Amino acid sequence: DTGVSQDPRHKITKRGQNVTFRCDPISEHNRLYWYRQTLGQGPEFLTYFQNEAQLEKSRLLSDRFSAERPKGSFSTLEIQRTEQGDSAMYLCASSRDREVNGYTFGSGTRLTVV
Amino acid sequence: GNSVTQMEGPVTLSEEAFLTINCTYTATGYPSLFWYVQYPGEGLQLLLKATKADDKGSNKGFEATYRKETTSFHLEKGSVQVSDSAVYFCALTVNTGGFKTIFGAGTRLFVKA
């Protein structure tokens, strides 16, 4: 297993365009998390899935954001009508049921909205 | 609510110096506590964890003790190396129905040769 993979690593888009990011978690991990990290800050929780069910969404996740995890495997995070304030690093993490083991993070997708 | 407060950085040390990065938390419930490390251009890596009061987490020479009475989880290392230069994040996880993890703002460490 190669860990958590995120694609793309970098994305530059014009304001108003839609973007989609993909995350492939560790195969035996049933929980998947999306976080957003801006410069000089810690990761902020966006949403989480247990298998294919999206169980919690942060208030940070406006209606321009949508996340899916079909079949409980990979996940996608889509941002519609991007704004400059969406520029950030988007991190995906996965874990087993027992969260006391901590998360395994991917390397992130850096989004720049120009 | 749940929150984590870390000492502000950057922290600049010479090689072989002693490191302390302070972390305190507030939590509704009984959290598990973590330290993560982020090297430039990479995602976060779990460094160590502690799941109950007085537990000591340790890894790669780093240690942190879960202090319930002071709601603290300070990170220490006896002798830092240049390769320890990174950003360190303190974090907690509480079962609020989602086991999501709350992170501190991070503390950047620079170690000079």
Segment A84-107 mean pLDDT: 88
pLDDT at A101: 76
Segment A70-82 mean pLDDT: 94
Q: Tell me the C-alpha distance between B86 and B112, whole Å.
A: 12
Q: Which residues of A35-70 are buried (b: 16+ CB within 10 A; e: fewer)?
A: bbbeeeebbbbbbbbbeeebebbbeebeeebebebe
For the cut 60, the answer to whether the pLDDT of residue A92 exceeds it is yes
For chain B, say whether A114 makes contact (Cβ under 8 Å): no
Strands (E), chain A: 5-7, 10-13, 19-24, 31-37, 44-50, 53-57, 65-68, 75-79, 88-95, 104-105, 109-113
**Cβ separation A103–B106 shorter than 8 A:** no
Give the tens place of pLDDT for each residue, B79-111: 999 999 999 999 999 876 667 899 999 999 999
Which has the minimum average pLDDT: A25-29, A89-93, B88-92, B104-108?
A25-29
Residues of A in contact with B100 (CB under 8 A): 33, 45, 48, 56
Give the tens place of pLDDT for each residue, B36-48: 999 988 889 999 9
Residues of A in contact with B32 (CB under 8 A): 99-100
Q: Tell me the C-alpha distance between B6 and A40, whole Å.
A: 13
Residue B99's nearest CA partner among B46, B32, B37, B14 is: B32
For chain B, say whether A33 makes contact (Cβ under 8 Å): yes
Q: Tell me the C-alpha distance between A102 and A53, whole Å.
A: 20
CB atoms within 10 A of CB A26: 18
Residue linked to tokens 């079949």:
A71
Q: Which residue of chain B has the CA closest to A101?
A: B49
Q: Which residue of chain A has the CA closest to B47?
A: A102
